[in-house]
């Protein structure tokens, strides 16, 4: 099957992943970096982008990632207009609140729903992030592309067989989505290939981690590391989808 702009990121990730790497983590991390670059590039001056960032803001991890980029002015401008939006919204929610602090009561006839409305607003804001939303939206299309390739491309299936399995998070996504996206026969093949692939990868990782811990015993000082030197890193990636390195 001919590569397209939609299939290339998926096939490349499966081609790049080494032992212990989850190809979907590779895709997601690249997307996330691209989303940060997009926001911190000229797009932050575009009105439609700024309207969205004003409304949703950013999660803490992406705020930190943007701060570590070189465009402090861009981040300051986005933070300023987001704060303007935040102040506007909070003032609108709380302007009718009339509370007698001494008596611990709301004054008669005044709105008493403001605290709850404000809590709902702040909770929604806390859980929103422009970069997370952008990355997740594109990543969902990558999941769809994966299952499209699974049903159409035998060469891709052969490549997928040798990826070493997936992190638990993305393994869950695949299991949850597969039956909806694949025909009955393709779904059966998917389970037949993917489940042993995942279980064998986890078993190998378990054995490598076991030897990694045993290498700290002085009696094994002169024994070879075998395939366990990076077992802890691979284990953390597999279990928690974290990005760690030596």
Q: Is 142 helix (H, G, I), strand (E, B) or coil?
A: helix
Task: Say yes or no to pLDDT of 3 above 70.
Answer: no
Establish if 187 belongs to a structural domain.
Answer: yes
* pLDDT tier at 152, thresholds 50, 70, 90: confident
How confident is residue 146, by pLDDT bands cut at 50, 70 and 90? very high
CB-based burial, 60-92: b 16+ in 10 Å, e otherwise? eebbebbeeeebeebbeebbeebeebbeeeeee
The listed range with the strongest mean pLDDT (4-18, 103-117, 217-231) is 217-231
Q: In the predicted model, is pLDDT for residue 2 greater than 70?
A: no
The rounded mean pLDDT for the chain is 88
CB 35, CB 135: distance < 8 Å: yes
pLDDT score of 137: 94
Domain range enclosing 210: 8-95+128-240
Whole-number percent of the chain with pLDDT over 90: 67
The per-residue pLDDT for 118 is 84
Residue 27 domain-assigned (yes or no) = yes
Which pLDDT band holds residue 70 (cuts at 50, 70, 90)? Answer: confident
Q: Is the pLDDT of residue 5 over 80?
A: no
Count of the separate structural domains present in the chain:
1
* Backbone dihedral region for residue 153 (phi beyond 0: left; psi -120 to 50: alpha; all else: beta): beta
Strand 99-100 and strand 105-106: the pairing is antiparallel
The mean pLDDT value for 220-224 works out to: 94
Asked if residue 133 belongs to a domain, the reply is yes
Q: Is residue 161 part of a domain?
A: yes
Residue 202 scores a pLDDT above 60: yes
| Buried b / exposed e along 93-121 (16+ C-beta atoms within 10 A) | beeebeeeeeeeebeeeeeeebeeeeeee
Could you identify the residue written with the tokens 């597999």?
Answer: 238
Q: How confident is the model at residue 224 (pLDDT cuts 50, 70, 90)?
A: very high
136 domain-assigned: yes
| Residue 94 confidence (pLDDT) | 78
Handedness of CA 118, 121, 127, 132 (dihedral sign): negative
Q: Domain for residue 115, yes or no?
A: no
In a domain, 101, yes or no: no
pTM (two decimals): 0.84
Mean pLDDT for 180-191 is 94
Per-residue pLDDT band for 172 (boundaries 50, 70, 90) equals very high
Distance CA 97, CA 107 (A): 9
Residue 82 in domain: yes
């Amino acid at each position: 099957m001919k590569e397209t702009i939609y299939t290339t990121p998926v096939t490349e990730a499966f081609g790049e992943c080494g032992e212990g790497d989850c190809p979907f983590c590779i895709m997601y991390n690249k997307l996330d970096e691209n989303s940060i670059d997009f926001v911190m590039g000229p797009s932050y001056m575009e009105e439609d982008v700024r309207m969205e960032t004003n409304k949703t803001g950013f999660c803490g991890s992406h705020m930190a990632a943007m701060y570590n980029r070189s465009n402090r002015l861009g981040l300051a401008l986005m933070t300023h207009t987001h704060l303007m939006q935040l102040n506007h919204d909070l003032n609108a929610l709380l302007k009718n609140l009339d509370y007698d602090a001494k008596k611990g009561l709301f004054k008669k006839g005044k709105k008493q729903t403001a605290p709850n409305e404000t809590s709902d607003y702040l909770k929604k804001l806390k859980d929103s992030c422009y970069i997370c939303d952008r990355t997740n939206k594109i990543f969902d299309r990558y999941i769809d592309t994966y299952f499209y390739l699974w049903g159409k491309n035998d060469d891709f299936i052969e490549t997928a067989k040798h990826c070493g399995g997936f992190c638990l998070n993305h393994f869950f996504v695949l299991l949850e989505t597969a039956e909806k996206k694949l025909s009955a026969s393709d779904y059966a093949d998917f389970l037949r290939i993917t489940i042993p692939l995942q279980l064998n990868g986890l078993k190998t990782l378990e054995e490598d981690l076991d030897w990694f811990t045993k290498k700290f015993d002085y009696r094994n000082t002169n024994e070879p590391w075998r395939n366990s030197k990076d077992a802890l890193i691979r284990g953390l990636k597999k279990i928690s989808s974290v990005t760690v390195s030596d």
